[in-house]
Structure 1
Amino acid sequence: MTDYSDNRYFELFEKQKLNQFAIGRTTYKERIKKLNRLKEALEVTYKQDIREALFKDFKKPQLEVDLTEIYPVIDEINFVKSNLKSWLKKQKVDTPIALLGSSSWIRHEPKGVCLIISPWNFPVNLSFGPLVSAIAAGNTVILKPSEMTPHTSKVMHAIIKDLYDENDIALVEGEVEVSQALLKLPFNHIFFTGSPQVGKIVMKAASAHLTSVTLELGGKSPVIIDDTSHIDKAVKKLIFGKFVNAGQTCIAPDYVFINDAIKPAFIAAFKKHIIAFYSETPSASNSYGRIVNEKHFKRLKGYLDDAISRNAEIAVGGISEEKDHYIEPTLVFDVSEDSELMQNEIFGPILPVKTYTNIQEVIDYINSKGKPLALYIFSKNKKQINTIIKNTRAGSTCINHNLLQFLNHNLPFGGSNTSGIGKSHGYFGFLEFVNQRSVLKQHTISAVDLLLPPYTNFKQKIVDLTIKWF
């Protein structure tokens, strides 16, 4: 048996382990009370603290904080409150006639002690969103937010400490070694949001204990804009989806395919809406955020410099200011396929554009890469839309808009293979944090009881008839 006593989080883990069955026995009303406390903290008590912390961390505009950080969690809570009672009821299922005399059902039981490791780009949303699902499922939770947004992590720590006992829900802050120490413990489930590279580390650590995982990863999410789309409207929506949070969004458009015939109109619309959104000087706009830190600023600046060195053309933007971690919304054409921009997830406000003449070349290109977390299509051609969807693979698809699929809690959110494992939001997030325990109850003698040894010719005939007819 492994000794974890030298792990600094072992005592906390043990407290939650001892408390997991008490939490697991809570009623849906008790769980909703816990969610209501979190909702009030986000809506009222800590709302302004969250806004100020996110501005300090990377100048996130207040409206973006409300829209992309606070609202999605509150909406998730409201959705769970409306449905949790039915989710927790035993789900009766049919029992085959060969098992006549039995009844069967599924019981949604908590997985137990869960670890949530959340990222920096939407720290409140992507920490508390999974937490809502974990609470709904009746688990104890240790939450580890990113060290890259320290002001926001501090506020979230205060919220959790204020609302919950640590033997129920706890939040721990710290650098990467904190995550490493936590990953050594035998959690019952790990929910991780971040890069595919770190996702592999999490999955490897989980395999030591056969711990189940949910991995919300990323990848290069493509956009296709064809010549039947309303170019002006498409570009306006594209700019919102790409440059909200300064492009630091896992489902942000990563690169765009446009029909060659619409290139001039596309560039004109892009210039027009960038000015409308952020003025002619985006660095002075209170609607445009910053890159989270110097490391990521230099990474993105390096991507852009690399593309330019390979003869890429900057059609819009390109200005950067290292001191302020500012990169202007940037549109790039003729990007070399072996450039950093096309080989890595960009995760910033730089948008490469590729042109095409035949949709099959777009489909072939997308399928030559890892499965994206999202794929976006702007088109009025239903046949072409269906062709693209049927002949590609992606975690999600949004037609004639982008990002909005994340906000529908009736839809599962998550990727496939390199873009993720498992789903979140609503009922699908609830399922990630429960074990679907199958239960069969025998009421009377069954056909199986008639077939116990010793085996006879008569029993063989019964089996033959069962195989043939039932």
Structure 2
Amino acid sequence: MATENDVKETMDVMEKSRIQRIVESQRARFSTGRTLSAGFRREKLKVLAEALSAYEGRLIQALEEDLGKSSFESYETELGMVKEELRFTQARFGSWMRRTRVKTPLAQFPSKSAVYREPLGVALILSPWNYPVNLALTPLISAIAAGNCAVVKPSRNAPATAAALAEMIGSYFDPSYIALVESGENTNRDLLEQRFDHIFFTGSPEVGKTVMEAAARNLTPVTLELGGKSPCIVDRSAKIDLAARRIVWGKCVNAGQTCVAPDYVLVDEAVKEPLISAIQRYLIAFFGSEPLTNKDLPRIVNERHFQRLVGLMEGQQIRFGGQSDANTRKIAPAVLVDVDPDSPVMQEEIFGPILPILSYQRFEDAVGFIKEREKPLALYLFTSDRARERRVIRTLSFGGGCVNDTLVHLSNPHMPFGGVGGSGMGAYHGKRGFDTFTHEKSVLRKSSLIDIPLRYPPYEGKEGWLRLFLR
């Protein structure tokens, strides 16, 4: 009689075989060249738009089930952003894929040079649970526009959304072109054992290292969209009321489970108390005096993350909020003051509705504090001082950010979005997303009518002419 381990091993072999067949079928599909034409790509982007419209209600319902997101927030941060990215790409990808003529050095006369853009092939997109629609479909839009086949693997921590996406993708796309693979116990491992032409990963730095290590075995290029502790600086010249409102919004979207959420605030000591008072006022205005019962405040994704966040508040001075309900996995947005920079809450990305506030005496101290730490994915500066704005942008390295706002920089498809150093590598959105899944192939076309003999041996007496051309 088969044991439980025997059954498990058989299931593992079957799952690995299924994934291998999907990848092989996509590689065979890509080799036919059917994905290359602009017409094919345009048609498939249109199909994705139709699928989104048909499944909008189902996806919003799934997001509420997984994360407790309101319909407004689901559309604002998930479906609406995906639709905007799709419209932007549909209108422009034709020009992005065109051949580009470039100049040729005189030493290569007579010839012409051009850059051709071709898809990489079969891409793997590993998406996270915190924005399970947006962060699965936005890179998929870029992969389709660039002419690739793609395997999408959503997180198992948002199962309802993963199931809805699987049904949507399965209903509208042939799996030999676009396939969504739902999570099993070893699905990530099995996928990473396959050879892909590009891997696009969004998630934690720890898992990102595993992805990069696996990709290295096949010399597969990777895009890593990670995270980190994104700081928010508020100087004494800032409009404090506006800063508080925008910081509270940016911190509480998706209950703080956002890779670019303000992780902590560095505020000038002179305006610390006014800022804290304004933050408290807006927390009440947004979520009421009983935020744990407010339907606009999402919940923490699972019990493990809930307990981790509760643990980060232990021993901290909570000025406001911080109540929690284990049954609903909701945490009232918490403001922490007099935070020790060496405390646990300052050692890891919080990824929840907890906001440590640290003060500084001199602006240089705030800049130095950030510079001493890992390069963040985002940075936010609230100021009316243009000199300080220039100094922060020039001096500090970070993925991207805003001056006098939070989060919204990633909603602009004209700008690339991505990290630097420990917060990631590579970028996407708009044309940069298209470029991520594209190879630029350089071709020099030399005339066969003339063949200047300078480069051929014997070289005696030719070096002067060589130095004339190559200076």
In structure 2, relative to structure 1, the CA distance for the partners of 1:135 and 1:219 (3 Å cut) is same
1:343-364 deviation line (CA, Å, top 9, x unaligned): 0000000000000110111111
Aligned 8 A contact 1:112 1:140 in 2? yes
For the residue of structure 2 that corresponds to 1:210, the secondary structure is coil
Q: Report Cα offsets for 1:18-69 as digits up to 9, x if no partner.
A: 1113356532232122111211222x21111011111111211110000101
Partner of 1:130: 139
Per the TM alignment, residue 405 of structure 1 is displaced from its structure 2 partner at its CA by 0.5
**What aligned pairs does 1:277-288 form with structure 2 within 5 A after superposition?**
277-288=286-297
The secondary structure found in structure 2 opposite 1:372 is coil
SS of structure 1 residue aligned to 2:152: strand
- Residue 279 of structure 1 aligns with an amino acid whose one-letter code is G
1:214-363 alignment, distance < 5 Å: 214-305=223-314, 308=315, 312-363=316-367
Preserved contact between residue 115 and residue 189 of structure 1 (Cα < 8 Å): yes
Contact 1:39–1:74 (CA under 8 A) maintained in structure 2: yes
CA distance in 1: counterparts of 2:141 and 2:32, whole angstroms: 18
1:72 corresponds, among 81, 85, 88, to 81
Q: Does residue 101 in structure 1 map to residue 104 in structure 2?
A: no
Query: Are 1:102 and 1:444, in contact at CA under 8 Å, matched by a contact in 2?
Result: no
Q: 1:465 aligns with which of 455, 463, 468?
A: 468
Helix, strand or coil for the counterpart of 1:236?
Answer: helix
Q: Does 1:9 align with 2:19?
A: yes
Q: CA deviation at 1:447?
A: 6.8
Distance 2:159 2:16 in 1: 27
Q: CA deviation at 1:455?
A: 2.1
Opposite residue 414 of structure 1, the aligned amino acid is G
Alignment of 1:385 onto 2:414: no
State the partner residue of 1:18.
Answer: 28
The residue type equivalent to 2:395 in the other structure is: N
Q: What secondary structure, in the 3-state scheme, does the structure 1 residue paired with 2:376 have?
A: coil
Asked if 1:28 corresponds to 2:19, the answer is no
SS at match of 2:422: coil
> Deviation of residue 417 (structure 1)?
1.4
Structure 1 vs Structure 2 CA RMSD: 1.5
CA distance in structure 2 between the partners assigned to 1:337 and 1:150 by the alignment: 36
Contact 1:99/1:446 (<8 A) preserved = no
- In the other structure, the counterpart of 2:445 is 441
In the alignment, is the contact (CA less than 8 A) between 1:192 and 1:199 conserved in 2? yes
Are the aligned partners of 1:76 and 1:409 in contact in 2 as well (CA < 8 Å)? yes
Task: Tell me by how many angstroms 1:72 deviates.
Answer: 1.0
Question: Number of residue pairs matched?
Answer: 458
Q: Structure 1 residue 100: deviation in Å?
A: 1.3
- C-alpha deviation, 1:444, in angstroms: 4.3
Bigger mean CA offset, 21-30 vs 181-190? 21-30
1:408/1:24 CA distance change after superposition, 3 Å: farther
AA in 2 matched with 1:315: R
Cα-to-partner distance string for 1:103-140 (whole Å, 9 max, x where unaligned): 11111111001100000000000000000000001001
The CA deviation at 1:246 is: 0.3
Please say which of residues 196-205 and 336-345 is displaced more in the overlay: 336-345
In structure 2, the residue corresponding to 1:324 is in which secondary structure? coil
Percent of pairs identical after alignment?
A: 41
1:37 and 1:6 map into 2 onto residues whose CA distance is 29
- 1:188 to 2:197 alignment: yes
Aligned equivalents of 2:15 and 2:181: distance in 1? 18
Q: Is the 8 A contact 1:222 1:253 kept in 2?
A: yes
Of 250-259 and 332-341, deviating more is: 332-341
How far apart are 1:370 and its partner, in Å? Answer: 0.6
| CA distance in structure 2 between the partners assigned to 1:101 and 1:412 by the alignment | 37
One-letter code aligned to 2:326: E
CA 1:200–1:449: 2 relative to 1, 3 Å: farther
Render the CA deviation track for 1:224-268: whole Å, top value 9, x for unaligned: 011111100110011110000000000000000011011221121
Unpaired stretches in structure 1, ≥5 consecutive residues:
none
TM-score, scaled to structure 2: 0.95
Q: Deviations over 1:159-218 (max 9, x none)?
A: 110111010000010145101100011111000000000000000000000000000000
Query: Alpha carbons of 1:283 and 1:5: their partners in 2 closer, same or farther (altered >3 Å)?
Result: closer
8 Å contact 1:99–1:448 — kept in the other structure?
Answer: no
Q: Does 1:38 align with 2:48?
A: yes
TM-score by length of 1: 0.95
Structure 2 CA distance for aligned equivalents of residues 6 and 271 of structure 1: 51
Compare 225-234 and 279-288 and name the one that shifted more: 279-288
Which range moves more in the overlay, 91-100 or 25-34?
25-34
Q: CA deviation at 1:454?
A: 2.2
Structure 2 Cα separation of the partners of residues 386 and 6 of structure 1:
52
Indicate the residue corresponding to 1:452 in structure 2: 456
Gaps of 5+ in 2: 1-13
